[in-house]
């Protein structure tokens, strides 16, 4: 029974890591595509392309920010657990 529980936890952990990796990849891709569209739109003076590029850039920035906040929270939990272990 215990092995089933640990297997399920490991499966969930792998799934969460995949989702976080996807968020990072999608965020960086959106940043790159959005920046290119925004610059090209400015160069050819096309307001629609500039706006689409800006929105894609914004979404990419938000995704990267979510991943960064998750990473900071993970580090805070690690340090908290380490300090608890030192006290015992």
pTM, two decimals, is 0.80
Q: How crowded is residue 15: how many other Cβ atoms within 10 Å of its Cβ?
A: 10
Which structural domain, as residue segments, surrounds residue 81? 2-87
Q: Which of 82, 62, 85, 63 has the alpha carbon at shortest distance from 74? A: 82
pLDDT at site 62:
96
Is the pLDDT assigned to residue 1 strictly greater than 60? Answer: no
**Domain total in the chain:** 1
11-69 pLDDT, tens per residue?
888 998 999 999 999 999 999 999 999 999 999 999 999 999 999 999 999 999 999 99
């Amino acid at each position: 029974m215990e092995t089933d529980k640990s297997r399920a936890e490991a499966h969930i952990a792998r799934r969460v890591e995949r989702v976080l990796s996807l968020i990072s990849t999608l965020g960086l891709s959106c940043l790159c595509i959005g920046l290119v569209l925004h610059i090209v739109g400015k160069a050819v003076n096309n307001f629609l392309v500039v706006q689409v590029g800006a929105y894609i850039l914004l979404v990419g920035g938000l995704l990267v920010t979510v991943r960064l906040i998750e990473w900071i929270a993970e580090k805070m939990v690690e340090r908290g657990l380490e300090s608890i272990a030192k006290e015992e």
